[in-house]
Structure 1
């Protein structure tokens, strides 16, 4: 199994390792899982352990984790769970009335509904998610070194979109698989330009 090249980061700038949690029962069924604090499936635990192969030999200056159980379990299984810092901004989108529902079910009533455009009744709006992502990014850009973020699918996509200056609606094009690794950094030739250096890699997709 190959490992991630961690020698190309620009000195004194952060390199963000964005990690989505492993499989849960609701990710299998396509149900929106925001604040519901469910655990990983046995397969999700295996996926999370496989992440360690991608992260080996990388020294992290910070390990930040969503407060939700599925992210914390992934952090632990990936070998970085000794002293993670819990960060509320990394929690998944609050789906409000749509918690536990599938997009297909919502579309029966609202065919054009898009969470990145419309948000969720009694949950979070795209504007609130954008502000939450921007707050986290401002913190990250004041940091240095390799930083691991253990988070979720839709807030992870939103963080990536905002990292490169895109509106939240564009996060719909940045899908994340369970137990995936993405890297947000800066162009080494143009250090003021934020980039997505790696997207949606899994232990199975990276080969020797």
Structure 2
């Protein structure tokens, strides 16, 4: 049985202020570095058959500080590309586009939900190929969308899965049915 452990990266300046961060390669804050070390303490007694990380600095640094410096970089694990909304908060976007969410509205110059689903489906396929336990370091919207795709649901189902910085979530299988074992712990 495959189980997939998901870790959202530690805090950055923009995650702390609610600014959408995809391509901007921000470092972790001091709090984010502490969070990453704490995550490592929660994972230290587990063995993983594969460890993957987004190529973004914040995810790679979280993996390193958690004790997984040799994590394999997977370009498909990057955050949802926010295009023109990079660095902008949802509240600011909603001043121009009332009710906007990344889950339900277009992202000018960024990725569509269909594109996000396509690349995260590749990740799901690779994860299902591992015979045991995999560990993934990535980003809030990407991991929420990954969980939705793991369950066989549309990317937009991720809107129901809040994900805080430096949290651990687990996806698995229950008698042949993909499930969320633990979320946002």
State TM-score, norm by structure 1: 0.87
Contact 1:118-1:126 within 8 A present in 2 as well: no
Specify the alignment match of 1:8 in structure 2: none
Runs of 4+ in 1 over 4 A off after TM superposition: none
Greater CA radius of gyration, 1 or 2?
Answer: 1
| RMSD across aligned positions (CA) | 0.8
Cα deviation for residue 112 of structure 1 reads 2.0
2:163 matched to 1:176? Answer: yes
Runs of at least 5 residues in structure 2 that lack an aligned partner in the other structure: none
CA distance in 2 between partners of 1:137 and 1:22 (Å): 23
Cα deviation for residue 137 of structure 1 reads 0.4
2:63 matched to 1:75? Answer: yes
Equivalent residue pairs, number: 185
Specify the alignment match of 1:33 in structure 2: 21
Runs of at least 5 residues in structure 1 that lack an aligned partner in the other structure: 1-12, 202-208
CA distance in 1 between partners of 2:42 and 2:145 (Å): 23
Alignment of 1:1-208 (within 5 A): 13-81=1-69, 83-187=70-174, 190=175, 192-201=176-185
State TM-score, norm by structure 2: 0.98
Cα deviation for residue 119 of structure 1 reads 3.7
Specify the alignment match of 1:206 in structure 2: none
